Structure 1
C-alpha cells in the first residue's frame, strides 16, 4: 500500500502542468539531495511545481514555459535524528547552498523563443533578506525567483535571444 501511495504522488508530480507552465522531474529518485521520507520528497516536488506555476503567470499572454528539473540540491544538509521520526535539515552557510539543474524552453505559438540547460544556485542564500519567512523551501524559491527574473523579464526575452 505504501508504495502505491508513493507511486501515485510521484506520478502526480512527474508532469504537473498549469496554464503557461509544464514542470517535469527527470528521475527524482536520483536527485542529489532530497529528504529520505517519500511523503516529504513528493511534497517538495509539488511545492516547487506550484512555485514555477506562480512565476509563469508573469509571462506575457501566449507564452508557455516547459521546465525539466534534472537534479535538486536543497539548502543545508539533512542529518538523521536519534528518534528516526524525521531527519532535520541543518543550514551552515558553507558549501551547502541550494542548487538545481534545470532544462527549460520558453515557447510561443509552437516556436521556441529561448531555451537552455543550466545549474541554478544561490551561494549567498543565508546572507540575503528573504521574503519567504516561514516556508520550508524559502531559499530555493528565492533562488528560482532570481533565475526567473534574469531569464524571463519581458525586456530580456525576444526572438533575438534564441
Structure 2
C-alpha cells in the first residue's frame, strides 16, 4: 500500500466518523421524546410508558440497535386494531404497555460484525407487560388488571409472515386478546 493510498483511506475514515454522529442523530428511535406515547381511539386506546425503561433496551445486548425504529408504536397500532375487531359493541378498552422484551437478543460477544444481529433462541422469548380496563356502554368496569404476556414456545409455532420482524410479539398479542375477550363478562357478539 502506497503512502497516498493510506493517506486517502485515513481521510475517508475521518470523514465517515465526522458525519456519523449527524446521521445517527437523524435516525428515529423509540426513545425519541418527540414521539407520541399513545394512540387514542374511539373504542380502544393504547398508551405506553417510557420505552427507554423497557427490558428490550435495558437487557438486549445492544441498547443502541434495540432502540432503532418505531416498533413500540407498531405493536401498539397492532394491538389497537386487533382489539377493536374482537371487542363487543358498546364496550371500550384502555391499554397501557409498561414493558416489552422482543424475541431474541443481540449477542455482542460474537464480534463486531454480529453485534447488530438479533439472535433468536428458545431462551429469548417475547414478553410484554400491560395494564388494561374494559368498560361497558354505561361506563361500568367489566374487567381490568395487569397481564404479563409470554410465549415460551415461540420458536415451535408456525409463522405465516416470515418478513415481519414483530411476528412473535403480534402472535402473543393475538393469543392474549383471544383469551381475554372470550371471557363471559366480555363475551363476543
TM-score bracket, normalised by the shorter chain, equals 0.7 to 0.9
**In the TM superposition, what whole-angstrom CA distance separates every residue of 1:39-59 from its partner, at most 9, and x where no partner exists?**
42xx11111111112112221
Within 5 Å, give how 1:11-160 maps onto structure 2: 12=36, 14-34=37-57, 36-37=64-65, 38-40=67-69, 43-58=70-85, 59-80=87-108, 82=112, 87-93=116-122, 95-109=123-137, 110-153=139-182, 156-158=183-185
Question: How far off its partner does 1:60 sit?
Answer: 1.4
TM-score by length of 1: 0.81
Alpha-carbon contact 1:19-1:53 (below 8 Å) kept: no
Q: Count residues with an aligned counterpart.
A: 150
TM-score (norm 2): 0.70
Gaps of 5+ in 2: 1-21, 58-62
Q: Deviations over 1:51-71 (max 9, x none)?
A: 112112221122111111111
Task: Provide the rounded CA distance (Å) in 1 between the counterparts of 2:80 and 2:124.
Answer: 26
Moved over 4 A (4+): none
How far apart, CA to CA, are the structure 2 residues paired with 1:97 and 1:132?
18
Q: Aligned partners of 1:123, 1:100: CA distance in 2, in Å?
A: 12
**Which structure has more strand as a fraction of its residues?**
1
- Provide the alpha-carbon RMSD of the alignment: 2.4
Q: Aligned-pair distance for 1:92?
A: 1.4
